[in-house]
């Protein structure tokens, strides 16, 4: 193994990395080819070979590209992902399995494109490109002029960002109850407008030993195709008094959770939209009595395909500041006294409040450096039971990022008592470490 690792690093040392877009600024001489995706990642790694791609598409790919660019299926550049990526000549390799630091993470699925002379691209048959894209499920060929590039994080073109309601759906129709912190006085979200929203349900062994289900207990946020960010108190071993704690006769913590991704109405969930937890990471310093470090990550049993309906939100290492307009969303209850969650996703516009508004939680060890409080300026909107773990989202330059995780609050939409959220910025290193963990 050590010899193999040394060999990999020698390749890295002697390899020229040509992945920057600046090396192929579109002009009269050079331009990018469409995107190609020939290989599917496995436990050994991921690769995209220039010779193999060119042999299939000699009119699209030149023999000696000026540069090579690669992105994963979330549209994230290869230099910004959590994989060990190298370019050898014009071939891309993901070699996580050869480095102990990365070997617990399966490589992302990468698409590549090549910077070729315009003379090559000028002979491209656009009908051939369109036909290849439509008929091929493995090549994922994308025409830069006629098809969008792979989706990037934080894109929500369908989202309603004003207070306008989307429909008159009866939000109280449901068969199951929820007891954790739903959107009070919000509106129904446009279907699939927040492609990173996750509904977390639970399967548990009741007092009689019979397995039972609760459709929805908490929210979560897709931050990477294989990872969901949520609140630590959502994934504790015992969520309420009706749950039996883990014992030697009970299964692992991971087997309890059912995650629904890419849905709007929980009642119409399809099997392909249901995921299970492969690994659960609760912050090591989480304190349930005070909600300190109320953050957790769920690794999924399989990656979520990046589409218009399912894609990750962007992570930011910065902090949202007082006065910032933000949006919260979830399937929680619509009233403090309600015992049933919403069937459909709801959202509300609120504001990040100044620290003075958070003093009511001093006795609970509120920490402004790691937490924030937010509410509507007239105290009319708030998160409530069942919204815990969901995102507090903000938009900059058309891109949505997560700034907080719904944590706790006194009541729902009570004047003088804002909702409290775990800031995500201070935990950016912890998040990345866990996503790379075993």
Kindly write down the DSSP assignment for every residue of 328-394, as one continuous string.
EEES--SSTT--B--SB-EEEEEEEPPGGGGGGGGGGT--TTTEEEEE-TTS--B--TT-TT-EEEE
Of the candidates 294, 387, 401, 407, the residue annotated as catalytic is 294
Decide if 127 is catalytic.
no
User: 3-class DSSP state for residue 47?
Assistant: strand
Q: What gap in Å lies between CA 428 and CA 317, rounded to an integer?
A: 6
Q: Distance between CA 428 and CA 78 in Å, rounded?
A: 19
Backbone angles phi, psi at 88, to 5 degrees: -115, 110
* Residues paired with residue 230 on neighbouring β-strands, in sequence order: 296
294 is catalytic: yes
Closest alpha carbon to 288 in 332, 329, 324, 237: 237
Residue 48: HSE in the Cβ half-sphere, 13 Å Cα cutoff: 28
Q: Out of 199, 388, 407, 413, which one is annotated catalytic?
A: 388
Annotated catalytic residue within 39, 216, 227, 233: 233
Q: Kindly tell me the sign of the dihedral angle through the C-alpha atoms of 145, 150, 155, 159.
A: positive
The residue among 185, 189, 204 whose CA lies nearest residue 378 is 185
Pairing assessment for the beta strands 257-261 and 371-375 based on DSSP bridges: unpaired
Active-site residue flag, 388 = yes
Q: How far apart are CA 148 and CA 38, in angstroms?
A: 18
The set of catalytic residues is 233, 294, 388
């Amino acid at each position: 193994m050590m010899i193999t690792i040394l060999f990999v690093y020698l390749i890295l040392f002697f390899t020229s990395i040509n992945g920057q877009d600046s090396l192929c600024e579109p002009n009269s001489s050079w331009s990018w080819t469409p995107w190609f995706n020939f290989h599917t990642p496995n436990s050994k790694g991921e690769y995209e070979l220039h010779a193999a791609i060119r042999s299939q598409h000699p009119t699209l790919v030149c023999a000696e590209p000026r540069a090579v660019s690669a992105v994963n299926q979330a549209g994230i550049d290869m230099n910004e992902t959590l994989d060990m990526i190298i370019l050898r000549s014009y071939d891309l390799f993901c070699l996580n399995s050869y480095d102990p630091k990365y070997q617990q993470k399966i490589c992302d699925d990468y698409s590549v494109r090549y910077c070729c002379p315009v003379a090559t691209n000028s002979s491209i048959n656009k009908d051939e490109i369109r036909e290849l894209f439509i008929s091929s499920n493995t090549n994922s060929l994308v025409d830069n002029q006629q098809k969008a590039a792979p989706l990037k994080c934080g894109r929500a073109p369908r989202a309603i960002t004003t207070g306008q309601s989307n429909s008159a759906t009866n939000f109280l129709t449901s068969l199951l109850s929820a007891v954790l912190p739903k959107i009070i006085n919000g509106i129904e979200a446009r279907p699939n407008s927040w492609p990173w929203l996750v509904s977390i349900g639970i399967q548990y062994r009741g007092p009689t030993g019979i397995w039972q289900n609760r459709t929805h207990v908490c929210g979560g946020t897709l931050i990477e195709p294989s990872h969901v960010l949520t609140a630590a108190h959502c994934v504790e071993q015992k969520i309420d008094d009706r749950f039996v704690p883990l014992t030697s006769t009970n299964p692992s913590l991971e087997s309890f959770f059912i995650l629904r991704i890419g849905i709007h109405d929980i009642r119409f969930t399809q099997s392909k939209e249901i995921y299970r937890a492969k690994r659960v990471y609760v912050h090591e310093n989480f304190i349930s009595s005070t909600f300190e470090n109320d953050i957790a990550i769920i690794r999924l049993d399989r990656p979520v395909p990046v589409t218009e309906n399912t894609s990750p939100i962007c992570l930011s290492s910065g902090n949202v500041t007082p006065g910032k307009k933000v949006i919260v969303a979830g399937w929680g209850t619509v009233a403090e006294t309600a015992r049933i969650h919403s069937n459909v996703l709801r959202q509300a516009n609120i504001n990040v409040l100044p620290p003075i508004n958070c003093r009511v939680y001093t006795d609970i060890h509120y920490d402004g450096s790691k937490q924030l409080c937010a509410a509507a300026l007239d105290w009319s909107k708030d998160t409530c039971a069942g919204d815990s773990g969901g995102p507090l989202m903000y938009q900059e330059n058309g891109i949505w990022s997560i700034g907080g995780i719904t944590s706790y609050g006194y009541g729902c939409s009570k004047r003088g008592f804002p909702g409290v959220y775990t800031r995500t910025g201070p935990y950016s290193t912890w998040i990345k470490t866990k996503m790379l963990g075993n």
